[in-house]
Amino acid sequence: MDSALTLLSFGPDGWGDNIALGTLITVCLALATLPFGLVAGFFVALAKQSGEPSLRLAGNIYTTIFRGLPELLTLFLVYYGGQIALQALMRSLGQETTIEINAFLAGMIALGVMFSAYASEVFLSAFRAIPRGQYEGGYAVGLTGFQTMRLVVLPQIIRIALPGLSNLWLNLLKDTALVSVIGLSDILRQTGIAARVTNQQFLFFGIACLVYLVLAIISSFGINAIERSVAQRGAPK
């Protein structure tokens, strides 16, 4: 047990700092993806509940594609496909260069589109839970369409969509593990290296699982706090 503690310690003998760094990268990736995914998901949901059939269809195609593709495959499509497309673009501009897409960016894009595809479904069902009278009331008191959305509909949407979105956040946190495959030094990659070097596979992959669990537990505390504050602010008086 003593050797396990040495291996996990911080400093030159231990892998603690590597794992901490990996945790930081995982959290950064998830946090960087979240706003992009939320905003994109909201706009896709807007498209899917619009009165215009062509806009609805376009939104549904987006969801179908990015909900149906395996996460790993989406990541590879973005990572390798982006590289190949950029290289072809540079070649057509007359420049022969090798381009490597940053793994963090590729992970952010791939995770972001997947998150937004799922988030759009959550937002859509929240939109459907809001009665027409809310829009009509907004119209009756003289708000513009944009103001109705911002002041009347959006606050209710957020409250209804919050449980679904928190689930998606937990999924996002877990899906970040996939970027270790394209070489980003997240938790799983750092523990994988440590496991290979020290030949303590069970210890280090067990630690990786525990770190993810701790992140999930911290997240649920955060989510509970947000839910409580939103419920207090939005509760009918």
Binding residues for another protein (CB under 8 A): 47, 50-58, 61, 64-65, 67-73, 76-77, 80-81, 84, 170, 174-178, 180-181, 188, 192, 195, 199-203, 205-206, 208-209, 212-213, 216-217
User: Which is closer to another protein, CB of 158 or CB of 177?
Assistant: 177
End-to-end C-alpha distance for the chain, whole angstroms: 57
CB of 236 to another protein, least distance (A): 26
- Do residues 119 and 168 touch, judged by C-beta distance below 8 A? yes
Instruction: Say if residues 175 and 185 touch (Cβ distance below 8 Å).
Output: no
Q: CA dist 73 to 26, 57, 78, 98, 201, Å? A: 19, 24, 9, 23, 26
Nearest CB to another protein, comparing residues 91 and 233: 91
**CB of residue 132 vs another protein: minimum separation in angstroms?**
10
Cβ of residue 163: shortest distance to another protein, in angstroms?
A: 14
**Tokens representing residue 21 in the block:** 């760094």
Identify which of 78, 102, 83 has the alpha carbon closest to the alpha carbon of residue 25: 102
- CA neighbor of 103 nearest in space, from 122, 80, 137, 127: 80
Question: How far apart are CB 234 and another protein at their closest, in Å?
Answer: 26
CA nearest neighbour of 66 among 55, 77, 54, 81: 77
CB 126 → another protein: shortest distance, Å? 19
Q: Which is nearer to another protein, 5 or 233 (CB)?
A: 5
> Rounded to an integer, what distance in angstroms lies between the CA atom of residue 26 and that of residue 31?
9
Number of H helices, E strands in the chain: 10, 0
Q: How far is the CB of 207 from another protein (least distance, A)?
A: 10
Nearest residue (CB) to another protein, 210 versus 233: 210
Q: Which is nearer to another protein, 46 or 230 (CB)?
A: 46
Which two structure tokens, joined as six digits, stand for 78? 């973005």
By beta-carbon proximity to another protein, the closer residue of 79 and 123 is 79
The minimum distance between CB 89 and another protein, in angstroms, equals: 14
- Nearer to another protein by C-beta: 62 or 123? 62
C-alpha 112/C-alpha 55 separation (Å) is: 21
